Amino acid sequence: MRDIVEVFGVIVIGYFAALNLIYIGFTALAWRSITRYLHSLEYAAIDEALASPLTPPISILLPGYNEEAGIVQSVNALLQLRYPEFEVIVINDGSKDSTMQQLQDAFDLVEAPRALRGTVQHAPIRGTYRAARHHELLVVDKENGGKADALNAGVDAARYPYVCAVDADAIIEPEALLRVAKPLLDDPDLVIATGGIVRIANGCTVEDGRVTEVRLPSSRLATLQVVEYFRAFLVGRVGWSQLHALLIISGAFGLFRRSTVEAVGGWDHTTVGEDMELVVRMHRYMRENGKPYRVQFVPDPVCWTEAPETLKVLSRQRRRWQRGLFETLWRHKRMTLNPKYGALGMLAMPYFIVFELLGPPLALIGYLVLPISWAIGLLSWPFVLAFFVFAVMLGQLLSISALALEEFSFRRHPRGREILRMSVYAAVENLGYRQLTDLWRGLAFWDLLRGKKSWGDMQRRGFQTAPTDQLSKSN
Amino acid sequence: MIELLQLFGAALSVLALATMFVLVGRRVALSRRERRRARLEAELRPVALALVDGEEVDLPRLGTAEARALAAILGRYARKLRGEPRERIATFFEERGDVQRELRRVRSRRSAQRAAAAFALGDMGSDSAIEALIGALDDRARDVRSAAARSLGMLEAEAAVPRLVGSLAEHEVPRAIAGGALLAMGSRAAPGLRSLLDADEPAVRANAIELLGFTGDASDADRLDAALREDHAIAASRWREFAEVRAAAARAQGRIGTRRAAGGLRAALNDPAPFVRTAAAHALGRIGDRDAFDALARQAGDDLYDPAQAAAQALAAIDPVRAMRLGGDEGASPHLAEAAALAELEPA
C-alpha cells in the first residue's frame, strides 16, 4: 500500500509539474501571438474589406430547436451584421413550440423551393421559406434530428463557399463575421476553418440582439466562468492555433469552408461534441489527403453567450463537454502519437488525452492521495499543506496572467472596478471551483459507462435587456 | 523541500498581487490618458477643420501631445477626403517634416515601426511617399506590405498598379487589401491593369482581369473576350490556373455589361470547367442576353449544382415570366423551380 501511494505521489507531482509548465508555455505563446495580432489589426483595413466586392460571401447557419423566446431577435441581429454579402439560413429542427410561427409572423415567410446540394445527410426537410423583405433570409423547416443534423441541412441549402455556424442563443457582434473571416481574406487557399472567442453575456445589457453594455454578472458562478473563459480562449486556443493544432472551434460561432465540410460528410449527429469532432475530422481529412491547410483561432471576434448560473446546469454542461471530448478522442485515436498528423498527432491529441480527459480523475485521486499519504506517514502535514498552497498560488498566477492578457489586449470590461473584481475571482477560482469542475468532469466517465447520450436541458434565464424608459430615450 | 515550496508559493502570491496592482494602475492611467486625448482633440478640431478648408490658420506652438492629436484628426479626415482638402493635409504634414520622419521610420529595423509608418504615410496623403511605399511592398513582414498596399490605394498611386497586382497574385498581401487598394483608384487603375492582360503568369492575368471588371469600360470587351476564349489545351497540372483566367474574364464581362460580350459568354457555357460555366451564366444574366435563354435552360436542367443554379438565376433575370413558366412545369429541375419562386417573390 505504502509503495503504491508513494509511486502515485510521484506521478501526481510529475503530472502537476508538466501541466503547469505547459500552461506557462502557452501563456507566453498567447502573449506573443495576441501582441502580434493587435499590431496586424491596426493595418487590417477592416473597413476596406467591408466595402470590397472581393470579400467572399458567407452562408450563416442558425439551427434552432424550441427557440420561440429569442429566435426573432437572433435572426434580426444576424441580418444586421456588417459584411458585404451573406445569407442567413435558419434551420427549425422540428421544434415543438412556436418557433416556426414566430418566424412566420415576424418575417412574412412564403414557401419557396430551394435546390439542395445533396452532399451531406440529414433528416427530411418539410419545407423551405423565403421572406419578401429580406432576400438574404431562408428558413428551412425540417424534422427533428439534433443540432448537428440541422447544421447539415443548412450546408445542404447553403449557396456560398463558406458556412458560419451560430448558436440560436448566441449574440454575434456586428463586426465579428468580418473579423472571423479575416484569415480567409489573407489566405483563401489555405484556411479551412476559423473561430472566435466566446464571452459570457450574463450581466451585460442586450438591446435588439446586441450587447450594448458590458458588465460582469451578478452571479458568482457566472463570474467565475468569465475568468475561466479568458484562460480557455485567450491562452488555450490562441496557443494551439499558434502550433497549428487547434482541435476545437466553438459550436457557438465557427466559420468553415463549405467544400471541406461536405468532403468529410458534415457534422456528426452521433456525438455530443459535434463541434470538436468536425474540426478533428477536417484536420484528419486534410492531412490524409496531403493538402496544405490551416485551422485558425481569431481572438477578437466576439460571440456572447449565456453561462449557467446554477451548479446543476453547469454540472450537466461540463459532463456533456467531457463526454464529447472522450467520444472525439476515441473515434480518432489512431491519430494519437502518429507523426503523419504532425503537431496534431504528436502534441494536441496526447495533451488532450493526458491532461484534459484523464486530468480530472487524476486530480480527484490526487486530492485523496495527499491526505492518505499524510495519514500513513509518507508525507508530513506541513509538506501536504505547502504543496497545496503552492499549487493554488501557481493556479492563481496563471488565471491572473490570463486576465492580464485580456486587459492588455481587448479590455472589453470598461469599468475599472470590475478589473479588481475579476482579479479576486481569478485568485479564488483555484479554491473550490476548479476542484468542483474536476469532480463533474470526472463524473462524466460514469455517464459514459452508463451509455448516456442525451444533451440535457440548458435552462436559460435570458439576457438582461435595457429598461424600457432607457430604450425610449435612446429612440 | 517544504521551505522551497513555501518560498515559491510566497513568490507566486507576491507576483500575483503585483500583477493585480499593475492591472488596476494601468487601467487608471489609461482612463486618464484617454480623457486627455479626447479633450485635446475637442480643442484642436476647429483648427483641423480650418486647415482642411484652406483658411489662414495661425497655428499655435504645439507640444508633442497636441501635435499627435492634431495629426490623428487630420489623418482620419484624409481617409475620407479627395482633391484640394486632401492636398492641404499633405502640405501640412510635409511642411511640418512629418512625412520625412515617417519615410525614415519606414526603413526602421522593427517591423511594427515600418508598418505604422507605411500606414501613416497613406493618411498623410503626400505623393512623395509613393516610391518608398512601392518599395515597402517587398518588405519581409506581411503587416508592412499590407499597410503599404492600403496606403498606395489611398494615394491613388497609378505607378503601383503592376506591383500591387503582382502582390495580389502571389498572395503577398491579403486579397481584400491589395484588391481594395486597386479598386480605390477606380478608373485610374485601369491602364495599369490592361498592361497586365498579357502577363505570362495566369494568376497575374486572372487578378488583373477580375479588377478590370470593376474599373474598366466597354472598350475592354474585346480583350476580355480573347481571354475568355484562351486556349485551354495546356498541361493538366496548370489546368485550373488557366480556367481561373477564363472565369475571371466571364465575371468581368458581366460587370462591364456590354452586349458585345454575349457571344463569347454563350460559348463559355460549354467550357469544361464548371466554375467557368457558372461565371458565364451569371454574366449572361447580368447582361440580359435573351439569345442565351435556351442554352441556360438546358444548363439549369442538366448541369452540376453551381452552374445549374447560376443558369436558373440568369433565366429569372433575363425573362422572369418565361422563367416562372419553365419552373412551374411538372418535372422542372429544382434550380428552375427555385428561380421561378424567387422571380414570383421578387418581381423585377
CATH number at residue A111: 3.90.550.10
Report pLDDT digits (tens) over B308-320: 999 999 999 999 9
Nearest by CB to A113, which of B24, B150, B337? B337
Torsion, Cα B277 B278 B279 B284, to 10 degrees, reads 80
- What distance in Å separates the CA atoms of residue B152 and residue B130, rounded to the nearest whole number? 7
For position A468, what pLDDT does the model report?
41
In a domain, B114, yes or no: yes
- The mean pLDDT of B74-92, rounded to a whole number, is 89
Tell me which chain B residues have a C-beta less than 8 angstroms from the C-beta of A52. Answer: 176, 179-180, 183
For position A431, what pLDDT does the model report?
87
In a domain, A423, yes or no: no
In a domain, A202, yes or no: yes
pLDDT interval class at B270 (50, 70, 90): very high
Chain CA centroid to CA A392, Å: 26
Tell me which chain A residues have a C-beta less than 8 angstroms from the C-beta of B184. Answer: 48
- Which of 281-320 (B) contact A at CB < 8 A? 305, 308-309, 312
Q: Does A33 touch chain B if contact means CB atoms closer than 8 Å? A: no
Pair (B177, B272) in one structural domain: no
Whether residue B203 has pLDDT greater than 90: no
| Helices and strands in chain A, H and E counts | 19, 13
What domain range includes position A202? 19-354+458-466
Pair (B210, B173) in one structural domain: yes
- What distance in Å separates the CA atoms of residue B137 and residue B140, rounded to the nearest whole number? 9
Low-confidence ranges of chain A (pLDDT < 70): 1-2, 44, 453-475
- The mean pLDDT of B255-265, rounded to a whole number, is 93
A113·B177 Cβ contact <8 A: no
Place of cell 458588465: A215
In a domain, B129, yes or no: yes
What domain range includes position B246? 218-348
Q: How far is B7 from chain A (nearest CA, A)?
A: 9
Pair (B335, B240) in one structural domain: yes
Which residue among B103, B138, B153 closes a domain? B153
- Which of 6-25 (A) contact B at CB < 8 A? none
H-state helical runs in A164-208: 176-180, 182-186
pLDDT interval class at B168 (50, 70, 90): confident
What phi and psi values does residue A256 have, to the nearest 5 degrees? -135, 150
A42·B119 Cβ contact <8 A: yes
In a domain, A126, yes or no: yes
For position A463, what pLDDT does the model report?
59
Pair (B138, B117) in one structural domain: yes
In a domain, B255, yes or no: yes
For position A366, what pLDDT does the model report?
82
Chain CA centroid to CA A229, Å: 9
Domain count, chain B: 3
User: ipTM score of the complex?
Assistant: 0.83
- What distance in Å separates the CA atoms of residue A294 and residue A280, rounded to the nearest whole number? 12
Radius of gyration of chain B (CA): 28
For position A396, what pLDDT does the model report?
87
Q: Which residue has the higher pLDDT, B64 or A199?
A: A199
Give me the CATH number covering residue B291: 1.25.10.10
Pair (B107, B195) in one structural domain: no
Kindly give, in sequence order, each residue whose CB lies less than 8 Å from that of residue B278, ignoring residues fewer than 6 positions away. B247, B306, B307, B309, B310
Pair (B323, B339) in one structural domain: yes
Q: Does A292 touch chain B if contact means CB atoms closer than 8 Å? A: no
Domain count, chain A: 1
**In whole numbers, what is the pLDDT of chain B averaged over residues?**
89
CA distances from A143 to A146, A373, B120, B164 (A): 9, 56, 55, 51
In a domain, A450, yes or no: no
In a domain, A360, yes or no: no
- The mean pLDDT of B96-111, rounded to a whole number, is 93
Whether residue B44 has pLDDT greater than 70: yes
In a domain, A389, yes or no: no
> Coil, strand, or helix at residue B347?
coil
pLDDT interval class at B63 (50, 70, 90): confident
> Which residue, B136, B110, B113, B133, is CA-closest to B122?
B133
Pair (B147, B161) in one structural domain: no
In a domain, A382, yes or no: no
Nearest by CB to B12, which of A48, A386, A397? A397
Which residue among B104, B126, B153 closes a domain? B153
Pair (B258, B291) in one structural domain: yes
B153·A117 Cβ contact <8 A: no
Pair (B143, B208) in one structural domain: no
Pair (B167, B242) in one structural domain: no
- The mean pLDDT of B59-73, rounded to a whole number, is 84
Q: Is-contact A174 A309, C-beta < 8 A?
A: no
In a domain, B26, yes or no: no
Q: Which residue has the higher pLDDT, A10 or B219?
A: B219
In a domain, A335, yes or no: yes
What phi and psi values does residue B139 have, to the nearest 5 degrees? -60, 150
Q: Which of B80, B119, B175, B345 to mutate: most A Cβ within 10 Å? A: B175
Chain CA centroid to CA A4, Å: 39
Pair (B211, B266) in one structural domain: no
Q: Does B8 touch chain A if contact means CB atoms closer than 8 Å? A: yes
For position A462, what pLDDT does the model report?
57
- What distance in Å separates the CA atoms of residue B338 and residue B332, rounded to the nearest whole number? 10
The beta-carbon contacts of B8-15 under 8 Å, at least 24 apart in sequence, are B8/A390, B8/A393, B9/A386, B9/A389, B9/A390, B9/A393, B12/A390, B12/A393, B12/A394, B12/A396, B12/A397, B13/A393, B13/A396, B15/A397
Q: Does B226 touch chain A if contact means CB atoms closer than 8 Å? A: no
